[in-house]
Amino acid sequence: MYKSCKITIFIGFFLGIFFSASAQIGHGGRPYSFKKSISLSPLNMEFLSYLDNEILLKEEVIPTKEEGFIFGKEIDVDYSLENAGLWDTLSNGARLWRLGIQSMGAYSLNLLFDSFYIPPFSNLFIYTEDKSYVIGSFTGENNNRWGNFATSLLPGDAIVLEYYEASQDQGLGILNLSTVVHGYKDFFFKRGIYGSSEKCNMDVNCSIGSMYPNAKRAVALILRGGSAHCSGTLINNTAQDGKPYFLTANHCMTSNPSQFVFVFNYESTGCGESTAKPSYSINGATLLAKHPHSDFALLLLNNIPPKDSLPYYAGWDRRNIAVAGAVCIHHPNGDLKKISKDNKLLDSSNWEDEDPSYPKNTHWEVTYWDSGTTQGGSSGSALFNVLEQIIGQLEGGIAECNGSLPNDGYDLFGKVSYSWTNGNSPDSNRLDYWLDPLGTGIEVLNGYDPYENVNTIRFEQEIINILLSPNPANDIVRIAANTQIHSYKIYAVNGQRIRSANINSSMVDLNVGDLTSGVFIIELLTDKGIVFKKLFIQH
């Protein structure tokens, strides 16, 4: 039984304009419009169709434990820099675009962009209409290889998007908002506690967790689009280069990880405390390997977790040896980080829920937890040995609190030892290719603290460089890239596809003489990801 849970992207609320209990990796600063000395056009507000929270609650199909917690209604929209909001020209030659969005009665709003590109000198802020809560700035460092973006959750029913376009970036930014999530349950900002896990769960900062100070830093909550979540863990590799590999469950890959949000350090300030520490979010990842037999998925995060998030890359033990005293660190029902412990010797088992043909001895079984339990949202969380090394990740089970010890039910964790080669499967179905890039063949690896010594992180994200020349173009435009381009699509600014074709080359000349003068968007599928570029036609 899968332990996945429906929720949405969130951010903790803390009074004050520029400070919050949780933040996506932003780059600080102050929205330009907050300056008192400037005069701007009245804010253009888009009002979404009214949704009655009480009716949504009544119409909601009560989710199973596998489906978990549902909190909001996804609303399809199509707002871009070209078809919504208002522009103001500033005294320094820059421009400012602002768009207000209101979904009446929502307890929270969060956003999904299907096209997102911030040029080098520009930035984006998003804040509540009363300016009491701000996320950003988002800059070119927040662009990802798939050209999309997902935000954390903001409180209330009205928000403002503010894009500052530097004069040297004119016309280069791309923002296309495709989804607004209307939060119809007041489950976080008002009560101050996110999620509602079972009472026998124990905060990671209770005494049991004191033996796992490093492992807990590797664990993050996964927010999948606007509707579901899992748990997962940063994991070390033999190069120990800070490459942000992230281990979770295969069954959590029901949506595109390029729009996942990974929330680190989301835990209580102490044992039994409802107050959360400052937490940090990273947007997006690439799926590298997965397989259902041991239910593992290995991702590469789009960004390295920042120093303030206190990241730790957990070690692993790929030996198929049963141990006692294993713990699971996880986010049950999306709650603050919890820890569960099993004092007994683990059993070797397998997953036969719907497919008895699955191979044997692919999982470690916890027959029942001596402390704590797991729930929806715990899926993908790591099982650690007493040395804080990962030996498996949670697929599911029927573990639950029963009001007294021992707790009921069992849980099954896909073995790292099985996932390592997965029966000599291809690289996209096994761990060793990624976690032992040096080919050492070692069976046990300790964890890695990237900030223990200054400048120890050596991993750098690959950069996709694509040049359109000339731009503006009249008849021929050359597309040149530092990687293979597989296909292109050209869109008008209203979203209509004009043409598309396969390329399979790093350079191509396109005849655009038949296009009318104006602005178009080219979507390019490359070896390294998807890139959006603006094309200007001038006859």
| Residues with catalytic function | 251, 295, 379
Residues in Cβ contact with 271 at an 8 Å cutoff, skipping those fewer than 6 apart: 202, 203, 205, 206, 207
What is the DSSP code (8-state) at residue 55? Answer: H
Nearest to 274 by CA among 156, 191, 341, 330: 191
- Do 24 and 152 touch, CB atoms closer than 8 A? yes
Distance CA 523, CA 210 (A): 49
The C-alpha torsion from 267 through 269 and 275 to 279, rounded to 10°, is -40
- Do 531 and 515 touch, CB atoms closer than 8 A? no
Give the H/E segment covering residue 5: none
Amino acid (1-letter code) at residue 302: N
Distance CA 535, CA 477 (A): 9
What is the DSSP code (8-state) at residue 81? Answer: T
Distance CA 79, CA 302 (A): 25
- What are the Cα distances from residue 46, in Å, to 79, 103, 365? 9, 9, 52
- What are the Cα distances from residue 9, in Å, to 25, 112, 192, 453? 14, 10, 15, 33
Distance CA 184, CA 60 (A): 11
How many residues are listed for the chain in this entry? 539
Q: Pairing state of beta strands 45-47 and 158-165?
A: unpaired
Give the H/E segment covering residue 433: helix 432-435
Amino acid (1-letter code) at residue 416: V
3-state DSSP assignment of residue 208: helix
Q: Give the sign of the dihedral formed by CA 249, CA 254, CA 260, CA 264.
A: negative
Measured from the Cβ of residue 179, the count of other Cβ atoms closer than 10 Å reads 18
